[in-house]
Amino acid sequence: MFQKYKNTLFIVGITMLVYFLNVLPLSKPLLLPLALFSIIGLVGYGYRQKKVGAPVGRTPGFIYLLTAAILLVVAATGWFFSPFFFALYLLALMLAFEFESAASIGFIGVLAVLFSLNVGEVDIAYDFLVILSLVSFIPLTFYLRKEFLKLKEAEKEILVLRKTASTPPSGIVEDILLNKIHNFSANLRQPINDIKQLTHHLVNHDSKTEREKLQSRVIACSEEALRSLKRFEDETTGTVSTVTSNKTQAA
């Protein structure tokens, strides 16, 4: 459970920690130095990751530091009235793409709850609009994440293999077989099972005639499996693959 929502718990914890540093009289003057220190740490961490060949900006540690840096900068420059307040929306969007959706929801939810504690201190209408804008950003992150996955699918970076059918599937089995991978597995399983059984019989036969018959059947099943593989490659990649059968090689 912890591993599944580890990123969410860290993001929520960082958000609450920065908020309490902002409201406590003793720690509030330290927000700006902490923000500068976190930015320096973020740059140093990114440089170190790049030096060792690790992906910069995609590791959980980098995102945790980035979250802390943005929150500290926003807190040090006035929260609601900070000129960097927009960065919280961008951060929520980034969390939705880099981590599980719960991380973005938890981040926005905690911010909305914490900000609601200060509603009415300056302008109640403005405060409510800020909180409403934060909450309304949750469905927007879901929508953008969904569209991003569709774009990746269109670019074939995420492959969804499903056959086009002229009529809707009439049953569960037909619906499953519309998936090209499932259909390929079903077509390939039979010749492989036949090869396994024929090989077992081939070992137990001493008759030369019977052995030759079994060998011919093994070759036929192998060719059938190779044809299934070729069809699968042609259907999924749109290219014509070259498959050389055992029979051809033997010739």
Q: Return the pLDDT at 54.
A: 73
The answer on 186 and 115 residing in a single domain is no
With respect to residue 209, please indicate whether it lies within any of the assigned structural domains. Answer: yes
Q: Return the pLDDT at 131.
A: 84
Residue 6 has pLDDT above 90, yes or no: no
The answer on 227 and 128 residing in a single domain is no
| Integer angstrom CA distances of residue 185 from 62, 224, 225, 245 | 41, 13, 10, 20
Model pLDDT for residues 194-220, shown as the tens digit of each residue: 777 777 776 666 677 777 777 788 888
The answer on 113 and 28 residing in a single domain is yes
The answer on 231 and 138 residing in a single domain is no
Q: Return the pLDDT at 156.
A: 53
With respect to residue 159, please indicate whether it lies within any of the assigned structural domains. Answer: no
Q: What is the SS3 assignment for 171?
A: coil
Domain count, the chain: 2
Tokens read off for 48: 């170190």
With respect to residue 162, please indicate whether it lies within any of the assigned structural domains. Answer: no
For 128, the domain range is 6-154
Which among 99, 119, 154 is the end of a domain? 154
- Comparison of pLDDT for 186 and 240, the residue scoring more: 186
Which among 94, 123, 154 is the end of a domain? 154
The answer on 108 and 50 residing in a single domain is yes
Alpha helices in the chain (DSSP H): 6-23, 31-51, 60-76, 86-98, 101-116, 124-154, 172-177, 180-204, 208-237, 246-250
Model pLDDT for residues 55-107, shown as the tens digit of each residue: 777 788 889 999 999 999 999 888 777 889 889 989 988 888 888 788 888 89
User: Token pair 């077992």 is at which residue?
Assistant: 200
The answer on 86 and 205 residing in a single domain is no
The answer on 98 and 186 residing in a single domain is no
Q: Return the pLDDT at 25.
A: 86
The answer on 37 and 143 residing in a single domain is yes
With respect to residue 34, please indicate whether it lies within any of the assigned structural domains. Answer: yes
Quick check: 209 and 194 in contact, CB under 8 A? no
Which among 154, 189, 218 is the end of a domain? 154
Distance, in Å, from the CA atom of 109 to the CA atom of 21, rounded to the nearest integer, reads 19
With respect to residue 212, please indicate whether it lies within any of the assigned structural domains. Answer: yes
Quick check: 159 and 133 in contact, CB under 8 A? no
Model pLDDT for residues 142-199, shown as the tens digit of each residue: 888 778 777 766 655 444 455 554 444 444 444 444 455 556 666 667 777 777 777 7
The answer on 229 and 107 residing in a single domain is no
- Comparison of pLDDT for 219 and 121, the residue scoring more: 219
The answer on 45 and 149 residing in a single domain is yes
With respect to residue 160, please indicate whether it lies within any of the assigned structural domains. Answer: no
Q: Cα 50–60–32 angle (5° rounding)? A: 85
Tokens read off for 209: 């005639």
The answer on 178 and 138 residing in a single domain is no
With respect to residue 1, please indicate whether it lies within any of the assigned structural domains. Answer: no
Whole-structure pTM value: 0.58
With respect to residue 194, please indicate whether it lies within any of the assigned structural domains. Answer: yes
The answer on 50 and 150 residing in a single domain is yes
| Integer angstrom CA distances of residue 234 from 214, 221, 245 | 30, 20, 17
